[in-house]
Amino acid sequence: MRVALFSETFLPQRNGVALIVDRLVRHLVREGHEVLLVVPVSWRPRGDAPVPDGVTLLRVSGIPLPKYPDLTIAIPLAPRILDAVYRFRPDVIHLVTEFSMGLTGLRAAFELKVPTVASFHTNVPGSLPYYGFPWATDLCWSYLRWFHNRAGVSLCPSETNRVELQSRGFKNVRVWPRGVDTDRFSPRRRSERVRAELGSPDGFHLLYVGRVTPEKELPVLFDAFRQVTAAGLPRSVHLTIAGDGAYTTRMQAGAPSEVRFTGYLEGEALGEVYAAADAFVFPSRVETLGNVVLEAMAAGLPVVGVSQGGTIENVRDGVNGFLCEPGNAASMAAAIVRLVSNADLRTQLGSNARAWAEARTWDAAFQPLVATYEEMAGR
C-alpha cells in the first residue's frame, strides 16, 4: 500500500505529534508499505532527521507560527507538492494535522480522487485562550469540524476525545489508541546517580515532561509545589521540568528557585529521568491523551493529573494515580502529600501504573490505523 502523510510537524521538531509520525512511518516501512511524507522545513533546525528506506520526504518552506515559533506554517497548495503526490500515486492520504499541510493534502486528495483519513492530535481551540485568543475558539472549532467532516474517517487518541468531537458535530470519528515503549521507559533504568543530580537520592522527586508552554498550566504546578514544600514533610521534595519551548525563560522566571529545568531530553537520558522520579505531575487540562502520561506509567510512576481532558483516559483515581480539580493547586498539593507520606500507597499505585502501560504496545496501536488505511483504500 502507498500512503501519503501530510503533517505540520516532524523531527527534528520536539513534540508528541512529531515523534508519533516518525514512529508511524517506520512501522509502515517495516510492514512493507511505501510512504510519502510532506512536512514543513523546521524554522529552528536542529539537524535533519534521517528517514528509513521506503520513505520519500518532501519538506516545504514556511514561516514560524506567531506566539508559537517552535512550529512552522508551511506555504500551502504549492504546485510541486501536488506534482509529487501525483507521481507517488497514493492509495490513501493521511491528513495528520489540519492546517496548511492538511489543506494541501485535502486538495490533493480531491483532485486525484484519493480517499482520506484525518487525525485529531492537539486541542488547538482549547489552547487558544492561553495565548490571548479566546475569541477565536469557536471559529477554530468550526474550521476543524468543516475539515474533518470532509475526510472519510477522523481518528482521535482517546474515547474521551471521541465523545467531545462527536458532541461538536464531527462525523465518522474513531479512536486510534497510542502505545508506549516499555523498554525505554522502565523502572529498571532507575539510577541513584541521576537522582543525586536532580536534588537528593533520599528526597522525593516529582517530574513533569512536556512542552514548556502556557496551555500546560505549569504555574498551577509551581503553586502546588510551594504548598508541598511548606507542609513540613519529613522528606525533601524536588521538582524537575524536562522539556523546552518558546516560553521556557518566562516559566523559569515564575518558578520556585528550587525547581530544576533540564531542557529537552530524549533517548536514554529521558528514560533515566523518568525512572529516577517518584511521581509524575501533569496539570494540563487540554490534552487529547497525553503521551507522557503513558511514558511515566511505563516507568512505574503514579501520576498526579487533572480530571479533565485526555489524562482521564489512562489515570484511574486511587488505582494508578490521582485526578485533581483542574487549575486547583491545593488539590494537586494534597495528592502529592499523600504520595510522599505513604510509601505503600505509592508503591502500589506505581505497580498498577506499570501494568497498565505494559498492555499498551505500539504494534497494537498501529493495527487499527493500518486497517483503516486498507478499508479506505478499498473504497
The per-residue DSSP string of 199-229 comes to S-TTSEEEEEES--SGGG-HHHHHHHHHHHH
**H/E stretch holding 175:** strand 173-175
pLDDT at position 64, please? 67
For the CA atoms of 45, 271, 334, 223, what is the dihedral angle to 10 degrees? Answer: -30
Nine-digit cell string for 213: 508552554
CATH domain 2-179+362-378 topology: Rossmann fold (3.40.50)
pLDDT at position 51, please? 81
Q: Where exactly does CATH 3.40.50.2000 map onto the chain?
A: 2-179+362-378, 187-358
CA distance 166 to 126: 16
CA distance 119 to 156: 6
pLDDT over threshold 90, residue 16: no
Tens of pLDDT, residues 305-347: 999 999 999 999 999 999 999 999 999 999 999 999 999 999 9
pLDDT at position 80, please? 85
Distances (CA, A) of 99 to 40, 71, 124, 347: 12, 12, 11, 44
102 close to 11: Cβ distance less than 8 angstroms: no
Share the mean pLDDT of the chain.
93
Beta bridge partners of 190: none
Nine-digit cell string for 159: 474515547
Nine-digit cell string for 6: 501530510
pLDDT-derived band at 67, boundaries 50, 70, 90: low
CA distance 377 to 338: 52
247 close to 281: Cβ distance less than 8 angstroms: no
pLDDT over threshold 90, residue 44: no
CATH annotation of 187-358: 3.40.50.2000
**H/E stretch holding 252:** helix 248-254
Helix (H, G, I), strand (E, B) or coil at 340: helix
Nine-digit cell string for 30: 517495516
What is the mean predicted confidence (pLDDT) over 47-76? 73
pLDDT at position 71, please? 65
What is the mean predicted confidence (pLDDT) over 248-277? 95
216 close to 126: Cβ distance less than 8 angstroms: no
Distance of CA 291 to the CA centre of its chain: 5
CA distance 196 to 200: 5
CA distance 107 to 93: 11
pLDDT at position 50, please? 72
- Backbone phi and psi for residue 364, each to the nearest 5 degrees, phi listed first: -65, -35
Give first-to-last CA distance, the chain, whole Å: 14
